[in-house]
Structure 1
Amino acid sequence: MADNSVSGSKSLFEILFPYIRYIFKRLVSMIPVLIIMSIAIYILINMMPGDPILAMLDPEKTKAMTPEEKSLYIENMRRFLGYDKGPVERYFLWMGDTFRGEFGYSVKYNKPVNEFIGTYIGRSFKINIWGFLLAFLISIPLGITAAVKKNSLFDKTVTVLTIIGISLPSFFLALLLIMVFVIFMKILPFSGMSDPRGILPDWHYIILPVTVVVLTSLVGLIRYVRSAMIDILKADYIRTARAKGLSEKVVIYRHAFQNALIPVVTLIGLYIPGLFGGSIVVEKIFAYPGMGLLMNYSYNFKDRAVLQTVLLFFGLLTLLGNIFIDVGYMVVDPRIREGKV
């Protein structure tokens, strides 16, 4: 009997192996997609009008130069940044550098992109991850309660508020929060990420950006959770569970909610790249130095190396979001994990 119990139990590796194998396969399959994506990004960025070498020239530095010295300086910079080579050769050089963790040279910041890109990614992760986690924790109980109390005053109130929330663009919501909490109440800072006077703690500066992320993510999640729960609560096995005398809390949270998570996992996976794309507007309004503001500045300065890196990062997030969706399905639904669906 002991042998049977030991053989019947699975080790941690046996439990995790299907996930590890699947994630490895998906990561390998991402490589050709990333290559195609990188080609598209490279073509689009290099179709931008303007010369990046001329954009990086400092008028004060070149004012004292003779035309010959200025021409020689531009030629040296063009050679240093690789713009003296053909477009195809430049693409392969860029991809080779990217796989080595080198993302080119920024003409705006006058240093390699890999020396500062991680800082901007970390800042964007801070506001987006905090915002999404708070939105998820708030939307789950609200969506479940609205579904359980369908057509009640609570449900109608939540529905109306979510419709209003969906109709409000993020920039309008950001301006509204600035007007209330910065201009009128004067309790929160408007922009930046730290107080040079050392009076306000740093977390004060992310309250408004995180609030915008929470509110814009919250409305969609609530609607998805509510809709999924309403459909699941009509299922036969839910009626059977109730007929067996199980408590309403067990029926809702153990049986109904687990199955309602499947469409919610899809939405979460799609939100991952969308959060960072949407933060471009939020970071610009609040002057928060994250990926969104970096992308905006890079576009204005025709900083192609930074733009290519940021867009490739967004594309990678999209692919990772798709992997998250599939792995989430495997975790939530045992039939998918066991290959029965």
Structure 2
Amino acid sequence: MRTLFDTVFPYIKYIGNRLLHLLPVVIIISIVIFTLIQLMPGDPILAMINPETTANMTEEQRIAYIETMRKVLGYDKPVIVRYFLWWKDVLTANFGYSVALNKPINEFIGSYIMNSFKVNIVGFIIAFLIAIPIGIKSAVRKNTRYDKIVTVVSMIGISLPSFFMALLLVLLFSAVLRILPFSGMVDPRGVRPEYVYYILPVSVIVLSSLASLIRYIRNAMIEVLKADYIRTSRAKGLAEKVVIYRHAFKNALIPVITIIGFWIPALFGGSIIVEKIFAWPGMGLLMNQAYQFKDRGVLSTVLLFFAVLTLFANLFVDVGYALVDPRIKARRIK
């Protein structure tokens, strides 16, 4: 008789092996990121120093001050030494120093990640809750009027860019109706509740995700409903809801798991377009500001974070495939 350990251990072993294989990939990606950041034009020390600080200094004092800052931050060392020092900072959760915000990165990076996560997780959950029943019903009622309407609306949703949806919602609900705030996350006056600031960015995330998700679920369900075991299940007299939701939908989950894997980086990484339009203090806005100010410390940290998150998303997809498809489990999870 198989115990819980016998069931779980193959997955733990598989995940452990995959993590070992990911290690050299992360190292290669980190070398590429660090090299590209170092090749950026400009002197990071000069960008960091406030001109007012050196305004009353003589030229000799100014040069001495700049060189002192260069030594303190390690920019006087060779590139290869700075690379290992950077990894030391990453492994100790230090992450370096932000030129734009003029403070250590570890003091603010966590809040930006959570701000992106909070708005994206709400949007993605709502999108799934709406898309799953609509996609399933559209597949079951293929080529009916309902299916055609869903298909047309989905194609329109896929065609509209997210920035257009965001600007349209801002124009309608903020400029014309004046019932929702233009941007931000908190009312400085303390009048409006915090949740109203989530409505517009969450709505954009839902609308931009919903159309493609419905199409994925519909197409996957149509393929599964053609399978022989579905016809056999119906021939046995099983209720249609049991056939659809217990048998068909489980086997149609592979494309859905793929989408979830693609969305994992976006959950924590945010959206530059949405966060820029709504001035939402998340990772997308931080990335945009870091690029504008040539903030090397923030850029290298955020890029490495996205890379590692994407690799873990791929691992999640592989394990998810094995959980819902025994054929894939037989090939990969041993």
TM-score (norm 1): 0.93
Deviation track 1:238-292 (CA, whole Å, cap 9, x = no partner) reads 1111111111111110111010001221122122224555611111111011111
Give the conservation status (yes or no) of the 8 Å contact 1:213–1:275.
no
Of the three residues 95, 103, 109, the one matched with 1:103 is 95
Going from structure 1 to structure 2, the CA distance change for 1:89 and 1:150 (only over 3 Å counts) comes to same
Residues 53-202 of structure 1: matches in 2 within 5 Å?
53-202=45-194
Question: What is the match of residue 334 of structure 1?
Answer: 326
Q: Distance in 2 between matches of 1:185 and 1:242?
A: 51
Give the conservation status (yes or no) of the 8 Å contact 1:52–1:301.
no
Q: Distance in 1 between matches of 2:66 and 2:143?
A: 69
Q: Distance in 2 between matches of 1:154 and 1:47?
A: 55
Q: Does 1:308 align with 2:300?
A: yes
Question: What is the match of residue 277 of structure 2?
Answer: 285
Deviation track 1:93-132 (CA, whole Å, cap 9, x = no partner) reads 1112212222111122222211211111111111111111
Question: What is the match of residue 253 of structure 1?
Answer: 245
Going from structure 1 to structure 2, the CA distance change for 1:301 and 1:168 (only over 3 Å counts) comes to same
| AA aligned opposite 1:203 | Y
Of the three residues 2, 14, 27, the one matched with 2:6 is 14
Q: Distance in 1 between matches of 2:56 and 2:148?
A: 70
Give the conservation status (yes or no) of the 8 Å contact 2:264–2:310.
yes
Going from structure 1 to structure 2, the CA distance change for 1:216 and 1:278 (only over 3 Å counts) comes to farther
Q: Distance in 2 between matches of 1:220 and 1:318?
A: 20
Give the conservation status (yes or no) of the 8 Å contact 2:117–2:270.
no
5+ residue gaps in structure 1? Answer: 1-7
Matched length = 333
- Give 1:11 deviation, angstroms: 3.3
Going from structure 1 to structure 2, the CA distance change for 1:285 and 1:340 (only over 3 Å counts) comes to closer
5+ residue gaps in structure 2? Answer: none
SS at match of 1:45: helix
Identity of paired residues, percent? 64
Going from structure 1 to structure 2, the CA distance change for 1:155 and 1:220 (only over 3 Å counts) comes to same
Give the conservation status (yes or no) of the 8 Å contact 1:276–1:292.
no
| AA aligned opposite 1:185 | L
**Runs of 4 or more above 3 Å deviation:** 274-278, 338-341
Q: Does 1:45 align with 2:53?
A: no
Question: What is the match of residue 197 of structure 2?
Answer: 205
In angstroms, what is the RMSD of aligned CA positions?
1.6
* Between 251-260 and 264-273, the greater mean CA deviation after superposition: 264-273
Q: Distance in 1 between matches of 2:315 and 2:22?
A: 10
Give the conservation status (yes or no) of the 8 Å contact 2:185–2:198.
yes
Give the conservation status (yes or no) of the 8 Å contact 1:280–1:292.
yes
Q: Distance in 2 between matches of 1:330 and 1:278?
A: 28
* Between 329-338 and 146-155, the greater mean CA deviation after superposition: 329-338
* Between 308-317 and 70-79, the greater mean CA deviation after superposition: 70-79
